[in-house]
A = this chain, B = another copy of it.
């Protein structure tokens, strides 16, 4: 091994940053062989200088200000594992790119919000760890499937949501109970909104869509719904109908443009993605030559995320570089609004068990030219509320929204209707 070591700085020594330091230490020999040179941590930054990180930091230069790492002449590559789309993470990444240093980051929020502008700065910005943790999904889409015109990229992109939905189904529990338990087990954050409300998955989907379709990242265009509204009842009914409920991120390229959406979906139980359970993530890509490819694995945690960060470092050490969004020139294909979405729907109503109710509901659907695929009425309790489940053939989201508003306004419909889109993945 004669090549000069690659000297890196790590900003942020939390779950991911400390994981990277540990991986570089534990697998140093193997990493050096695959990178063609040793990769050594020469500088670090975090908030608390005295916290035990579970990994020796002696001999590494300490910085209170992470942004200063960009100007350390002894640093070849900056690893940003602080997090957040603004503040020190953004300042550091911009400073490093300005200084001509390659950057490796796990920060999906930063990429999703500022990725287009960061790419325009030029330079190397690698982010395998930002999407689907230990699964080399970015590399697969940006390099492995690069010869294909992709029509769709989709996935289970948030392990917390998938864990909650899996546990609700397996144990017949309600959302709030499972979330509470997940927080105690460390599978969900104290403030779970980012995960549960679909924002984290939307960040990742925006990144995947930009790569898959070679266009600037457009987070604002992503339609986002989380899993708070998914009830134990709908999960049980899905099961009966042959579906499983998953929070999916789905980006589709059609003649008119690109649609990107994150929301709970009913997927057929037989579909490969339906069987990705618990904290596991999966990414599906469909291309004109490769067909459908699915990757699954661990989407978060110190080990998998560090594995992805260090893969990026090895690429940089080897000089294997790729433009941020896969190509220098990006397409300006427009984003499509959610109202234009066409698909099938699951609709679950709580209706008073009275004559004429079903006729009212189906009459509204007929008025909006939505055709029914199936109807299921659970139990009978004259005068009381009972669930009624309708599934539709393909229709436009905007028709469905009109229909839903009219149905919700019926005096006999006693709860806001539950609507879950059906996806054949």
Chain B positions within 8 Å of A181 at CB level = none
A residues lining the B interface (CB < 8 Å): 19, 23, 26-27, 30-31, 33-36, 128, 134-136, 139-140, 143-149, 214, 272, 275-276, 287-298, 303-304, 306-308, 310-311, 313-315, 318-323, 326-329
Which residues of chain B are within 8 angstroms of A291 by Cβ–Cβ distance?
Answer: 134, 297-298, 303-304
**Is B27's CB under 8 angstroms from A288's CB?**
yes
Instruction: Evaluate whether A290 and B298 lie within 8 angstroms (CB atoms) in the complex, with A307-B148, A315-B143, A321-B320 already known.
Output: yes
Assembled-state Cα–Cα distance A356/B148 (Å): 63
- Per a CB cutoff under 8 Å, which of B289, B313, B319, B321 touches A307? B289
A interface majority secondary structure:
mixed
Indicate whether A311 sits within 8 Å of B144 (C-beta atoms), given known contacts A291-B134, A291-B298, A320-B322. yes
Output the nearest chain B residue to A30 by Cβ-Cβ distance. B149
Residues of B close to A149: CB separation below 8 A: 27, 30
With A287-B307, A321-B320 in contact, do A147 and B314 touch (Cβ < 8 Å)?
Answer: yes
User: Which residue, A149, A290, A292, A306, has most C-beta atoms of chain B within 10 A?
Assistant: A290
A118 to B307, CA, bound (A): 30
B214 close to A30 (CB less than 8 A): yes
Contact of B139 with A311 in the complex, beta carbons under 8 Å = no
Given contacts A27-B148, A147-B27, contact A134 B318 (CB under 8 A): no
A303's contact among B35, B134, B290, B306, by CB below 8 Å, is which?
A: B290
Are A289 and B147 in contact, CB atoms less than 8 angstroms apart? no
Minimum distance in angstroms from A316 CB to a CB of chain B: 11
Give complex CA distance A19, B297 in Å.
31
B31 touches A147 (CB 8 A): yes
Closest-CB distance, A88 to chain B (whole angstroms): 26
